[in-house]
Structure 1
Amino acid sequence: MKTVNLTLCQKAIQQYRYQDVTLRDVKVPVLFFRYSKAGKHIGSFQVNFTKNGKSTSRVIGRFPLLSIKEARNAAIAKWQCVEAEKFTATKSKRFKNCGELLDWYREFRCADPCISVNTKRNVEHHVARVLKPILNSKNISDITAGYLSESWLNSSLDSYNISTLKSGFQCLKSAFNRACKLGYIASNTIENVSFGDLSATTIKPRENRIKFWSTPKLIGQIDELPTEFRILSLLCLGYLTRNNETVSSKWEHFDFNNLLWHIPAENTKTGQGVAHPITLPMVKMLKHYKKWQLHKTRSKFLFPQSSGYKAMTASQASKKIASHTNGKFRLHDLRKFGSTSLRDLGTDYYIVERILNHKMTQLDQTYIQTSSKKIIEDSLNKWHQMFLVN
């Protein structure tokens, strides 16, 4: 039976009810929905886990008696209970090697509904590609600063750039910290180790290639792009959105009645959803683009792959932009350029931070949500008027 990975919701359950599939929730990957043979409008929520080296599952409730939100909470609670039984502080052999610890950490992080899908993908990539190929069979007690520097870092430099390895090290350190706090390992051998201890190379932020460009010059370059990449670039520039936040957008996220673009939490880096006001210039541009897209495909995504069933990935979009511009700028450069331009227009620091959807303190969130909605709208209107109105 085919498994479909998606965000579980009533609409998705209705959509697949006549297909021979099992639905897996991307927010809580251990949660599965299986349709009942008695009727395709009902089914059961199940949590999948491994026990004694074998995959198994347990029913945690029936739909629609149990809501999706309740099922997610129940799945997390059940999975954590199973993990607690597998790895208790009283066991002398909690993990045989570093590979088992990393596999546990990957499952632990991916079961957390509070982190974004993109973050989960990064964790999976770091564990499977960056860390396990070298550290998999290594004893946990042997993972020291010296070993990481001489054996892991030096061996990995041929395959990955230094910034990717720094992210991989941060993932490894987080895994050790979490396991130690839960009592799954006796001691944390890298607790006081920083990436700077492993490498003398200073990681510099990527330079913004269009930092000193004028807005008209940049718009002139964007106007030469193919239609879908022109719209993609203008959205990134206009709302300072990250690559993944933009390419993952669906038409249903755009509420043209209330003039709001909703970016769901699972699409953001911070795990915090955001609603941007759709300015009148943006309304005109997006509606024109939607009509153009209908002649090519009836996809639910603004920027679909050729099949129309999936959105373009952030990596695919970045490569296309770089190719069409001959490397003159990257997609992420537009976010930096837009944030600088808004500040040059006199926009308050906290307002720009909210538009950027940076992680903020609870106090900052309260300030912004209660007092700056109109200011954000006015700031974006002023910014969009500079390059979207002929």
Structure 2
Amino acid sequence: MASGVDVGKLNDAAVRRWLKGGVTRDFRDLRFPELRLRASADRAKASVFLVLNENGSTKWDKIATWPSVCIKTLCADLPVMLAKRSVGNMVTGQFDSVGGLLDWYQNHIKDNSTYSASWRANVASLIRCHLLPRIGLLALANVSFIKVDELLVKSMLKDGFAPNYIREAVNKLKSAFSAAAKLRLIATNPIAGYQVTDSIKLDGAKDTRLFETDLGELFTRLSASPMPVTMLFVLMMMFGTRINETRQARWEYFAGDTWVIPASHAKNKQEHRMPLTDAAKALLKHYKRWQLKHIGKRASLFPGVNGPISIRTAHDWNTQIRFKHFTSHDLRILFRTMLADLGVDTMIGERLVNHALPVLLRTYVKSTLDKGMSQALEQYHAYLIERGFSSVAPEILPRSSADVGNKQTLMASGWV
């Protein structure tokens, strides 16, 4: 019996030539590494195998015999076979229920690092809390627009959920069905084209943008909030940081004259270093004293049960201070806008918010960049104080003119 592997383009004509040649036992196509053809003893036909590595070992599963199978059709159906294989015994050609499809989708995205961890956690939460309890038992054969409307949309509406949140749940359901259809785990997508607006009217546009004229009201809200809530958003206002970066701040990240945001916490996965102004140092010193007195020694500025507070808690805090429907990102936009209005160089402003810089702007000397960032923050923080920021954090100002003589910013009695 011949041995070896012949490599070529997998089609019926090529298989005939290979068998007739009588030189090698196996045939494969590099475009389809999972498929392997093995010639029979008389080289009149060939067995088609699916070759996969499972649990550290290579397994050969015979799936067809040539020429009984069309090679072109086999190659076209390969993604379907592999997808069915990936979900194991749960799928034998079709899901029995919506719940089975949702369970598969959770496993499908669970370790996919191309999606953010927060997005995957949000999907898992929506599936667990809303999709499975409301529509999970529905047989896949009975899925339709009207069933989605009755079992999911109307039931969530009855339970008092906001229309926009209901839309998010529907979109996650549609994503699961779309993924299963693309991998040919289901023959057709029964909810393709369904829009939640077919069932309910979504909330209209809301006033979200923050302007400099809103600072007074914002300062008032922050002054009336619990200390950790105030501190979280004060830091975001002072440095233009993202809410996810800020909530994970640890005391060790504030060393000397710099606040360091590790690459693992930054959205662009690049370490971000920001100079601390005198006002920021006074603020942090006061907050640390408050934390030691009322909470105890902690590694995090905003400690939760295990580590820092969750992103959901941080967003809940946002609802406590807002008077418009602004998000935490709107604070960041306001920060960048005010820097521009103060005449801060574009490159300095972009660097402060940790945006990726164009090639030409990357030529700035690092020392010049650091000096510019420090000067910009000093100018910006002084402007905030002029606009009434000291009503939120009085400790950033000396108690009296007599206190200024020692050139140290003393801690006022506020915020405790």
Query: Quick one: structure 1 residues 185 and 321, their matched pair in 2 at CA, closer, same or farther if it must change by over 3 Å?
Result: closer
Q: How many matched pairs?
A: 300
Paired position in structure 2 for 1:302 = 301
Amino acid at match of 1:279: P
Amino acid at match of 1:387: L
Tell me if 1:338 matches 2:335.
Answer: yes
CA–CA distance in 2 between the matches of 1:352 and 1:181? 43
Conserved in 1, the CA contact under 8 Å of 2:235 and 2:246?
A: yes
Q: CA deviation at 1:207?
A: 2.8
Alignment of 1:175-186 (within 5 A): 175-186=176-187
User: Aligned with 1:174: secondary structure?
Assistant: helix
CA–CA distance in 2 between the matches of 1:338 and 1:165? 32
Q: Scaled by the length of structure 1, what TM-score is found?
A: 0.61
Conserved in 2, the CA contact under 8 Å of 1:216 and 1:387?
A: no
Amino acid at match of 1:313: S
CA–CA distance in 1 between the matches of 2:351 and 2:139? 44
Deviates more, 1:138-147 or 1:227-236: 138-147
Q: CA deviation at 1:369?
A: 8.5
Alignment of 1:155-234 (within 5 A): 155-159=155-159, 160-196=161-197, 198-208=198-208, 211=211, 213-234=213-234
Q: CA deviation at 1:143?
A: 3.1
Query: Quick one: structure 1 residues 261 and 94, their matched pair in 2 at CA, closer, same or farther if it must change by over 3 Å?
Result: farther
- Pairing partner for 1:278 from 274, 284, 298: 274
CA–CA distance in 2 between the matches of 1:346 and 1:371? 21
User: Aligned with 1:261: secondary structure?
Assistant: strand
Query: Quick one: structure 1 residues 142 and 370, their matched pair in 2 at CA, closer, same or farther if it must change by over 3 Å?
Result: farther
CA–CA distance in 2 between the matches of 1:368 and 1:101? 49
Alignment of 1:369-380 (within 5 A): 370=362, 374=369, 377=373, 380=377
Tell me if 1:121 matches 2:121.
Answer: yes
Paired position in structure 1 for 2:103 = 103
Q: CA deviation at 1:220?
A: 4.8
Conserved in 2, the CA contact under 8 Å of 1:236 and 1:334?
A: yes
Gaps of at least 5 residues in structure 1 are 1-57, 61-80, 359-363
Paired position in structure 2 for 1:256 = 255
Q: CA deviation at 1:123?
A: 0.9
C-alpha root-mean-square deviation of aligned residues, in Å? 4.3
Amino acid at match of 1:110: K
Amino acid at match of 2:227: T
User: Aligned with 2:283: secondary structure?
Assistant: helix
Paired position in structure 2 for 1:312 = 309
Conserved in 2, the CA contact under 8 Å of 1:354 and 1:368?
A: no
CA–CA distance in 2 between the matches of 1:302 and 1:238? 16
- Pairing partner for 1:289 from 287, 290, 296: 287
Q: CA deviation at 1:230?
A: 2.3
Query: Quick one: structure 1 residues 321 and 289, their matched pair in 2 at CA, closer, same or farther if it must change by over 3 Å?
Result: same
CA–CA distance in 2 between the matches of 1:134 and 1:351? 51
CA–CA distance in 2 between the matches of 1:98 and 1:199? 20
Task: Write the deviation string for residues 195-227 of structure 1: whole angstroms up to 9, x where unpaired.
Answer: 33x335133354338647443553354244443
User: Aligned with 2:384: secondary structure?
Assistant: coil
Conserved in 2, the CA contact under 8 Å of 1:98 and 1:140?
A: yes
Conserved in 1, the CA contact under 8 Å of 2:339 and 2:376?
A: yes
Gaps of at least 5 residues in structure 2 are 1-54, 58-80, 386-395, 398-416
CA–CA distance in 1 between the matches of 2:195 and 2:282? 50
Paired position in structure 1 for 2:130 = 130
Alignment of 1:234-245 (within 5 A): 234-245=234-245
Q: Percent identity?
A: 24
Query: Quick one: structure 1 residues 353 and 179, their matched pair in 2 at CA, closer, same or farther if it must change by over 3 Å?
Result: farther
Conserved in 2, the CA contact under 8 Å of 1:342 and 1:383?
A: yes
User: Aligned with 2:261: secondary structure?
Assistant: strand
Tell me if 1:148 matches 2:148.
Answer: yes
The structure that has the greater radius of gyration is 2
Q: CA deviation at 1:237?
A: 1.9
Q: Scaled by the length of structure 2, what TM-score is found?
A: 0.57
Q: CA deviation at 1:134?
A: 1.8
Alignment of 1:42-53 (within 5 A): none
